[in-house]
Amino acid sequence: MDAFRRFSLFTNARHASFVALATAVVMLALSFDLALAFRIGASIQLLFALGLLLRFARLSDERIVRTETWRILTPSERPVGESGRRAARADLELVLLQFAKAAASVAILLYASALVVSLNRQAQVLHADTGLPLG
């Protein structure tokens, strides 16, 4: 794995871990309503995935030199020439799409968890109103 791809993977992993930490803190703060906490956490993850997709859409061969990953590398480690920038862009696009896919998957999982908690709560209320035993 070349240096650019490795650093793009690490910088995006750092961004994802910060978003995951923020998501966990917000979900913990809203833990009094579990369904709401799951929905808010899913929304944060979905916004992160959309942000990554926006970065992917705006990325070009000229803009690759303004990315954090490019600036981290020393001039001797950076890809050389137009073909090098094109390869670096392809690597960064792949990494961005992989992280967006992972964030969207987490959002789906959290939305599904919110649905299950909501349905469970509604079922308990329904059984309490009718007086029928659960199960």
Per-residue HEC secondary structure of the chain comes to CCHHHHHHHHHHHHHHHHHHHHHHHHHHHCCCCHHHHHHHHHHHHHHHHHHHHHHHHHCCCCHHHHCHHHHHCCCCCCCCHHHHHHHHHHHHHHHHHHHHHHHHHHHHHHHHHHHHHHHHHHHHHHHHHHCCCCC
The arithmetic mean of pLDDT across residues 63-90, rounded, is 87
Q: In the structure, what pLDDT confidence band is assigned to residue 77 with cuts at 50, 70 and 90? A: confident
Structural domain includes residue 15: yes
Q: Which structural domain range is residue 122 located in?
A: 3-130
User: Would residue 135 count as lying in a domain?
Assistant: no
Q: Over the stretch 103-129, which tens digit does the pLDDT of each residue have? A: 999 999 999 999 999 888 766 665 655
Asked whether residue 45 is domain-assigned, the answer is: yes
Q: How many domains, the chain?
A: 1
